[in-house]
Structure 1
């Protein structure tokens, strides 16, 4: 008999006998007490300090609020060291985490807080004006405010906070008289221990909301079992890399995003050190920060690899201690992978996953990297490639990637019909991605089913077009979308960013490049050059946004043909 999704952690992986995330946290904090755990803005927390501060937050919740185990607490923070403190403190108190994007608009905040039923919110002070607009329309009872310097020593704390408020003017005026300064919920309680809370493997740990790129965002219900299982699956595979890979892991992706969230657990389980990058879009600032570290691991995605390799200061850095680079979140192009190897000397291990799978389903092994694939399924993960009728297809044939495993979500929060729709009758989660399985089990993602372009009855996958175009020496990045066409149903439009925006290559030159490398119906018919592509804050290109705005004028001169 099958267990309920998210209720078990495979024994073959679980050598420490973990029941929940709190077990993981307690073990690593005891074992690696004096080792560095997280760094942000020059402040490093050891595992001992992280343990003490998270205990303090759990004590505050238990003593000073009426929040009970199972209540929801929204965390809306950038990559500050406060994030792991409040995360693990809330989990110790038995609360359910609602990860919330700091870039959300008030409308998006209101939807997520109400949909999740959040009763508490921890928010960066620079966003407090947004919270003020919506909090009376939600069930949030407790609001905690934090600033960049809150966990720094006295002088630096006041300096950092003053710079943000008075120099950069990043704290709009607000009026929230009942808000609680996070320091007041931490510092007075350091040294105290919370009352232990019984947390079961099947209990909900996180409501992880999807990006909302198609309709209203919905919460994927991820249990403690889901997240610990995926952590152990990732740990087992990544630990095949050279010893010491987790010594200094650069973590530019936001911790509220499931990719970074789970990888941070893998790094912790190894006693590793995560250097958090609050603003990876500031590439010069990012490169300067990297110069302070002998990085051993780098976690990123395609757009970030491209931007960094295009930065002169980054190319000058010392990469002699680099042992692994992991890519996820969006497709890795050959051009980006090749340039990363050339600059850093480190191959990229591309993986694949979704919010609904905690997130990893497959990843390239450190000693078996095959560029252009997403590796083989993780341990205890059953992947099937199915046709539109739900029948398995032969190896080498495209179909929808469907998955079973301990990392697959319980379901969508309060959306039974949508949960049922995304699972097959025999319990496989339907990813919506088109994939091909090779004879030896390696998987290749062809593209998102919804992004596929249908040209005269032929399938065109944007990833393939983009991979070819980014190998052109004058193209920095690009995206392919489908446009309606009265003759062929759809045609391929390419939106590209040139390495030299003042002198982009001609559309005819790009078409000629494609004709040498692609079947005729895949060659873009329309080519437009822009200054930048619209992206999520994580760095995924928003093809949907390109479709919506394809007729609007661009800020920079564009060339269309």
Structure 2
């Protein structure tokens, strides 16, 4: 089956129901299906091998997802926050593509790669104008790749994660009931279109016949304004967004949020004090912690509303600790915790999280990461307690997750080592109330050089990488800890940074 079936079913069941609101414009499900079929014509004519999006969320993203699916061409949304050099490399890996979004930027950095480039407005308009007169077209059966997402990963060259139609439909059909939303239900989407959470939210909202309200560029004030104006019932946020929303509410911004019945969050570690405040600020909303990965087509474990309220109200430290858990595996997947030897560990003992299920791809364009029995190693470290709750205890590959964005310590360390006074360096995640995690660095000064000041170190990172990589904490040490095999012991560095 093709993921476009989700939109086709919605348009057939409720063609005149509003399916999308963006920048004040409203689209019915019938409108959206027509535009997706028009996009199919454009894609077929272009003979592109990929459909890429370099843009914020808009109707163009939704039309492109389903137009690409109908044409049997992988949809590949790109991170518009990447530096030009990185973005050029990714565009080169998917050439020739039909690219939608920042026309001037793509032309500037990749104009010689053979892409067909449309602005958001031009693509949406042409898709509407190119709607076929009849439905006699032969659409792709959906046996191949639906989505390709470049992971932020831990290396200089991101991996191309592959999600097939069967993976995405395995998740949606196994977790969402068709047409289950009331006509007045509205889901507020603020997650960037290149994130799996945004794609899965799009698909699940359409299948449930829920109105999607897009906020292309997040601000806490804009988020609260839309909740009040559109009577939002469902929302998904990353922890840093929720932190900023609560902050402006505490500073006196009063909006009617009584329509909110469900708030899901994920993409990074949620600080305990933030979720406690959120439960108080949104008393009528049920909170859900959704844990998932790109390679698993989104969510594989949930901490539901009842768990949140029960934990908040409990005096039992064990029950209250569940607020920091990922909840329990969803019914359609299996989860195991394995040690370094690949064997199951006892209950409560930490190890690496493995997952298996129809929605789990575990596939990259380069190779598959699944073992012989279909298990995918998430590279996340965690444990399951005696009651079946999954807890995350760190990242097996030491990735720093700041506000839902994965960062490689290696890229930060490489820049630090270019400083003439830096002999050795280690970057680690440190706790952050605003971002969930932030960057902390420990530096060894080279003999014969003066110790650089903290501002100089921060300016170096800011000049060479994005501002999100700038460390919040810098410490200078005489040496970094290594084991007998020469492996850097980041855990001990984290202890130093926490001191």
> What secondary structure, in the 3-state scheme, does the structure 2 residue paired with 1:335 have?
helix
The match for 1:29 is: 11
The match for 2:363 is: 411
Q: Residues 109 and 401 from structure 1, CA distance in 2 versus in 1: closer, same or farther, beyond 3 angstroms? A: same
CA distance in 2, matches of 1:192, 1:366: 47
Q: Residues 60 and 480 from structure 1, CA distance in 2 versus in 1: closer, same or farther, beyond 3 angstroms? A: closer
Give how far 1:78 is off: 0.8
Decide which of 124, 127, 146 is 2:120's aligned counterpart: 146
Decide which of 310, 329, 332 is 1:377's aligned counterpart: 329
Give how far 1:252 is off: 1.0
CA distance in 2, matches of 1:237, 1:371: 30
Q: How does 1:64-103 map to 2 (within 5 A)?
A: 65-67=45-47, 71-103=49-81
CA distance in 2, matches of 1:383, 1:541: 36
Tell whether 2:109 aligns with 1:134.
yes
The match for 1:479 is: 438
How big is each residue's C-alpha offset from its partner over 1:349-370, in whole Å with a ceiling of 9 and x where there is no partner?
Answer: 1011111111221112344444
Q: Residues 122 and 551 from structure 1, CA distance in 2 versus in 1: closer, same or farther, beyond 3 angstroms? A: farther
Tell whether 2:166 aligns with 1:225.
yes
8 A contact 1:110–1:138 mirrored in 2? no
CA distance in 2, matches of 1:439, 1:57: 51
8 A contact 1:94–1:197 mirrored in 2? no
CA distance in 1, matches of 2:137, 2:282: 46
Decide which of 435, 442, 465 is 2:389's aligned counterpart: 442
> What secondary structure, in the 3-state scheme, does the structure 2 residue paired with 1:385 have?
strand
Give how far 1:255 is off: 2.4
Normalising by the residue count of structure 1, what TM-score does the alignment of the two structures yield? 0.68
Give how far 1:442 is off: 1.6
Give how far 1:449 is off: 2.1
> What secondary structure, in the 3-state scheme, does the structure 2 residue paired with 1:311 have?
helix
The match for 1:7 is: none
The match for 2:245 is: 308
8 A contact 2:227–2:256 mirrored in 1? no
Q: How does 1:417-496 map to 2 (within 5 A)?
A: 419=368, 422-451=369-398, 466=431, 470=433, 479=438, 481=440, 483=442
> What secondary structure, in the 3-state scheme, does the structure 1 residue paired with 2:352 have?
strand
Give how far 1:268 is off: 0.9
8 A contact 2:177–2:207 mirrored in 1? no
Q: How does 1:278-317 map to 2 (within 5 A)?
A: 278-280=216-218, 282-312=219-249, 316-317=254-255
Q: Residues 264 and 113 from structure 1, CA distance in 2 versus in 1: closer, same or farther, beyond 3 angstroms? A: same
Q: Residues 144 and 376 from structure 1, CA distance in 2 versus in 1: closer, same or farther, beyond 3 angstroms? A: same
Give how far 1:197 is off: 3.6
CA distance in 1, matches of 2:178, 2:384: 19
Give how far 1:37 is off: 0.9
8 A contact 1:59–1:192 mirrored in 2? no
Give structure 2 stretches of 5+ with no counterpart: 309-321, 401-427, 446-453, 477-497
How big is each residue's C-alpha offset from its partner over 1:331-360, in whole Å with a ceiling of 9 and x where there is no partner?
Answer: 112111111111111242101111111122
CA distance in 2, matches of 1:45, 1:452: 39
> What secondary structure, in the 3-state scheme, does the structure 1 residue paired with 2:323 have?
coil
How big is each residue's C-alpha offset from its partner over 1:441-486, in whole Å with a ceiling of 9 and x where there is no partner?
Answer: 2211111123399xxxxxxxx88x73xx74xxxx897636463689
Give how far 1:132 is off: 1.4
The match for 1:360 is: 299
CA distance in 1, matches of 2:438, 2:64: 38
Q: Residues 334 and 76 from structure 1, CA distance in 2 versus in 1: closer, same or farther, beyond 3 angstroms? A: same
Give how far 1:376 is off: 1.3
CA distance in 1, matches of 2:287, 2:34: 36
Give how far 1:50 is off: 0.7
Q: How does 1:518-537 map to 2 (within 5 A)?
A: none
The match for 2:189 is: 251
Give how far 1:328 is off: 1.1
Q: Residues 183 and 541 from structure 1, CA distance in 2 versus in 1: closer, same or farther, beyond 3 angstroms? A: closer
Give structure 1 stretches of 5+ with no counterpart: 1-18, 148-180, 454-461, 487-525, 535-539, 553-559
The match for 2:481 is: none
Give how far 1:195 is off: 4.9
Give how far 1:121 is off: 1.0
CA distance in 1, matches of 2:254, 2:39: 42
Give how far 1:215 is off: 2.0
Out of 307-316 and 223-232, give the one that drifted further.
307-316
CA distance in 2, matches of 1:50, 1:237: 18
How big is each residue's C-alpha offset from its partner over 1:390-438, in whole Å with a ceiling of 9 and x where there is no partner?
Answer: 011011111100111112225111x13xx3xx44454311111111112
How big is each residue's C-alpha offset from its partner over 1:477-533, in whole Å with a ceiling of 9 and x where there is no partner?
Answer: 7636463689xxxxxxxxxxxxxxxxxxxxxxxxxxxxxxxxxxxxxxx9xxx9xx9
Decide which of 24, 31, 35 is 1:42's aligned counterpart: 24
> What secondary structure, in the 3-state scheme, does the structure 2 residue paired with 1:267 have?
helix
Decide which of 200, 216, 222 is 1:262's aligned counterpart: 200
8 A contact 2:34–2:128 mirrored in 1? no
- How many residues end up aligned between the 2 structures? 421
8 A contact 2:179–2:209 mirrored in 1? no
Give how far 1:547 is off: 5.3
8 A contact 1:110–1:137 mirrored in 2? no
